[in-house]
Chains A and B, each alone.
Chain A
Amino acid sequence: MSLDVAEPQTQTDAPAVVVHRRPAAVRWAAAAWAWVWPKALAVAIVVGFWQFLFLIEWRPPFVLPSPSTVFSSLGDLATTSRFWDSVSTTLQRAAVGYLTALLIGSFIGIAVSRIRTLRLAIGSLITGLQTMPSIAWFPFAIVVFGGTENAIYFVVVLGAAPSIANGIIAGIDHVPPSYVRLGKVMGARNLSLYRHVVLPAALPSYVAGLSQGWAFAWRSLMAGELLVLALGVTSVGASLDFARQLNHMDEVIAWMIVILVIGMIADTIFTGMSRTIRRRRGLAIDD
């Protein structure tokens, strides 16, 4: 029997071409630079345009302050404890609201994808809720919950949970039947089939839902903090509104930058998760 004919393994064994590798530090710096410069350029263009508007006095300086004024205000703010209290209050609210939405959304998503009647009952409602601007919930929430944090949580959860639920529903709906068949012939049933096959297969779509859910949660939270000034507690939204009332436009813009940066950091995390998952499954091109 001709057993000894090994299959060609050139694609993984001993590379034919020897790559001359630069030192690790150099490669790291090159990678960092490649990552940084497009972003730095984009920021420079925006700041440059802003500076231009300031110079031609498109609006009076007390309405549109210069970039340097705003950045120095931001620097000053960052040394105050009020700033860090605001940021930590807001981040805590974001975490609590988002995690609640995550639990509720995941639970509803799995339930809807499993139970046919439930899908018929609330399947389109979930999509409807997803398209509803969350700010439209606030008049109702403020009356029902009063000016408390609960009004904010209510709207944050309503904003984020449908996206998360829809992400998991779409993921489970699109699990290739061949994986389910494979799981079944390996002896997986019901719970183990879900755990080892269906849920992992649905993961990319779930992460997309998580990412979208975060965007909705963050928007709802900002709207809520501007509208529901809960008990004089400092928060990012409340500080932004406070600065506006005092006509401190440099601080208004500084707080807007803080909101933008937090949103971008969160987005980077979700994008990273999604990339890692796709790369592991051979769905992304390695660079």
Chain B
Amino acid sequence: MSQSLIAAGGPQVSGALSPTLRVKGVTKVFGHHDTRTVALQDVNLEVFPGEFVTVVGASGCGKSTLLNLVANLEKPTTGEIEVGGQVAFMFQEATLLPWLTARRNIELALRLHGVPRADRATRAEDLLETVRLSGMADKRPHELSGGMRQRVALARVLAQEAEVVLMDEPLGALDAMTRDHMHDEIERVWERHKFCVLFVTHNMREAVRLADRVVLMTSSPGRVKLDQRITIPRPRRIDSAEVAELASELTEALREEVAAHVA
């Protein structure tokens, strides 16, 4: 059974295309001597144009570190990261600047992206329209629900016209219903704009629901254990039998790794 679903992983299907994002032999060490922790060890990963990759692992496996390295917020200790294009980031917390309205948050992203002043208002309007929040333009973040805030964050990501979008458990703080809706929303925007996504989560079903490929990581040190292509046709539902079955198989695979590691 597991053989039929978990085929040999890897992104061979992408064939001749060159990857938008390439992580080559990256190791990241924090601290020195006594406090030394290896967050990532020899991580290799390629993400091809338009691909949706989810990274799953137990806490402390260096998932967030990996995204920070790709976003150039931190430098790898050894190894190389090549990113072919602008990078945008979507966080779980503090997704928006609280002193700016939804519109202004997006306009700031446009401004920092170099969009001339005259075009910003219309562009912001269009982007809010894209995430279906036109009526909320002049609300401040604290006046929006968690789901709405994440939709504004999604619009802001679009404002940056990024080729690579990093999402660090962006839906972790949302309730199940809103999260389900956000999956549709992210998928719709992704299918329309064709950026590639590196989406970190610890929710296996969410990972399977969204991904073209699921990358499993183990912790201490963080390593890539499995790179699994998901062939379930879209549109998918998080509560469908196929998603549930594959998710539990992958969870089992990850659990075996963790058990082997702990023992």
Contact = CB atoms under 8 A, between A and B. Distances in A.
Contacts of A182: 89, 91, 94-95, 97
Given A2-B235, A6-B132, A281 B98 contact: yes
B178 interface: yes
Contacts of B202: none
A7 B94 contact: no
Interface string B204-222: 0000000000000000000
Interface residues of A, number: 31
A200 B99 contact: yes
Interface residues of B, number: 37
Contact of A7 (B91, B140, B147): B147
Contacts of A176: 94
Interface string A175-188: 01011011011111
A184 B73 contact: yes
Contact of B136 (A12, A179, A282): A12
A64 interface: no
Contacts of B139: 12
Contact of A186 (B98, B147, B160, B181): B160
A108 to B, nearest CB: 24
Contacts of B88: 185
B73 A282 contact: no
Contacts of B235: 1-2
The residue in A9, A184, A201 that gathers the most chain B C-beta atoms within 10 A of its C-beta is A9
B181 A282 contact: no
A282 B187 contact: no
Contacts of B94: 176, 178-179, 182
B112 A187 contact: yes
B193 interface: no
Contacts of B91: 178, 181-182
B143 A282 contact: yes
Interface in B28-55: none
Contacts of A184: 71, 73
Nearest to B156: A186
Contact of A282 (B97, B108, B141, B237): B141
Given A3-B188, A7-B145, A196 B140 contact: no
B253 interface: no
Interface of A: 1-3, 5-9, 11-13, 176, 178-179, 181-182, 184-188, 192, 196-197, 200-201, 203, 277, 280-282
For the complex of A and B, the 4 pairs showing the least CB-CB separation, nearest first, are A282-B142, A178-B94, A185-B89, A1-B235
14 contacts: A1-B184, A5-B184, A7-B178, A9-B148, A12-B136, A178-B91, A181-B73, A182-B91, A186-B108, A186-B113, A192-B112, A196-B108, A277-B99, A282-B98
